[in-house]
Amino acid sequence: MSTESVGVRIYGKEDLRLERFELPEPADDEIVAQIVSNSICMSSHKAAEQGADHKRVPDDVAENPTIVGHEFAGRILEVGEKWADQFEEGQKFAIQPALMYKGSLDAPGYSFETIGGNSQRVVIPKEVMIQDCLLPYEGDAYFKASLAEPMSCTVGAFEAAYHTPPGTHEHVMGIKEGGNTALLASCGPMGLSAIDMALYGPKQPERLLVTDIDPDRLARAERIFPPEEAAEAGIELEFINPNELDGGPDSLPQYVDEMTDGEMMHDVFVFAPVAPLVEQADKLLGRDGCFNFFAGPSDRDFEATINFYDVHYEGHHVMGTSGGTTDDMRLALDLMGRGQVDPAHMITHVGGLNSVVDTILDLPDIPGGKKLVYVGREMPMTPLAELGQRAEEAEEPLKSIYKELDRLVKRNDGVWNAEAEEFLLSRDELKFGLEAE
């Protein structure tokens, strides 16, 4: 078994390198695996921005670079003797990167030299195994398992919400079933997963308000989740651009007051680290309302004003969640496996390993949702909506490949799918690095 890999490693601030490197020989308590797909998270951009200042990136990363990417799926190549009774060669898997091994924040995709999603081969260390974070996957497409990690973050946020019935100190976990939920700045990839979770997860609200100030993102979200379909399930779903309200964003609390007959929101989630948005969310809460600041800011001094009178007298809860637990990820995989939630709508771009460095560094300036990488392939990071145009402009073999991918995606209402993945992985012309050898 070769111990070489080709992948993207971080050496410091904005210093990502696509390179070939040696992996250590696996120990008896480790597993060798092939990574097939990895979706790129804004957290990877933040790690690239901050380098060793990031709390998950080691201080000595300049001398001992780590592999980037934590939303990945693959198949097992070689099983160490200690785990031979639990795993087998050829098995598909996903990984929960939030290990919390002995309380540490170290995580695959940030902290380890041997494992990360943007590497064609990895050695899965004992920490992953001890924490039971290697999760078997039996789905029909690798990309769904890659998206199980971001979906688990949303699952965790919805599970961590809580409410206290009047006259008790009992914490009833989860969003308020049959209540009012608002998702603010929620038409990006994580926001879309939250809409999916609100509509089809274990608990559903009676009213769901989704806001965003980007008209294109808002329109796409409404196409993916038609209010008419939500109404059939008994949920009043509304998409709002606060800038288009009479009175602008400041009038949103009044709008919500009228929408809910004065009840206001039981659960509010914020998906962008913007102080006015936090302050707006605070004003939308009703009695015993729970506010989750889901968006992780890069600025350690990020501040916003909230009303502590209402925290005391109206029982407002203010919290934040980051990442998901292994149980959250199992629930995400289960919901996807049963077809209750579908993460495919989060994907707007597909590319190969050669596109990773620029995509991570430029991520805030690239519109759309999730950028999906097939790490054994060479292909520019390509918007799904432009596959047809790229087919007209490209030379062979990309010309034919773009044309067929465009057909497969359009046949699925513009959404990435298992058949498109199977076709892409079948094209030997795109094999890259170790896969081409």
Query: What are 82-117's pLDDT values in tens digits?
Result: 999 999 999 999 999 989 899 999 999 999 999 999
Domain with CATH 3.40.50.720 in the chain: 165-314
CATH topology of domain 165-314: Rossmann fold (3.40.50)
Domain with CATH 3.90.180.10 in the chain: 1-153+324-437
What's the mean pLDDT in 22-38? 96
Superfamily for domain range 1-153+324-437:
Medium-chain alcohol dehydrogenases, catalytic domain (3.90.180.10)
CA distance 238 to 100: 38
> Locate tokens 């081969």: which residue?
121
Q: How do residues 197-252 score in pLDDT, each as one tens digit? A: 999 999 999 999 999 999 999 998 999 999 999 999 999 999 999 999 999 999 99
Q: What pLDDT sits at residue 149?
A: 87
Q: Are strands 317-319 and 265-270 parallel, antiparallel or unpaired?
A: unpaired
Q: How do residues 313-368 score in pLDDT, each as one tens digit? A: 999 999 999 888 889 998 998 888 788 888 899 999 999 999 999 999 999 999 88
In sequence order, what are the residues at sequence separation of 6 or more whose Cβ sits closer than 8 angstroms to the Cβ of residue 78? 1, 26, 31, 32, 89
Cis omega (within 30 of 0) on the bond before 58?
Answer: no
CA distance 405 to 424: 8
Q: What pLDDT sits at residue 338?
A: 81
pLDDT at residue 375 tops 70 = yes
Coil vs helix vs strand at 300: coil
pLDDT at residue 384 tops 60 = yes
Q: What pLDDT sits at residue 2?
A: 53
Q: What pLDDT sits at residue 256?
A: 98
CA distance 34 to 74: 6
CA distance 329 to 148: 6
